[in-house]
Amino acid sequence: MSVDTSNGHPDMDYNEHEKTYAGFLKVSKYSTIAILVILALMAAFLV
């Protein structure tokens, strides 16, 4: 995703912000997958 940061605040570190957001998305994706796997395993073995 490309964002025009030319008119942004000079004190804002946009590159670091984008890296942090990408990391947040990665953690969210993998934790959602892990929760779904755990739920599937619980459904298979606890019923």
Judge contact between 17 and 8, C-beta under 8 A. no
Tokens for 3, please give them.
């964002």
Q: Residue 1: which pLDDT band, with cuts at 50, 70 and 90?
A: low
DSSP string across 16-44: HHHHHHHHHHHHHHHHHHHHHHHHHHHHH
Instruction: For residue range 3-46, list pLDDT tens digits in order.
Output: 777 777 778 888 999 999 999 999 999 999 999 999 999 999 99
- Report d(CA 35, CA 44) in Å as an integer: 14
Give the pLDDT score at 42: 97
Output the furthest CA–CA distance in the chain (Å, rounded).
Answer: 58
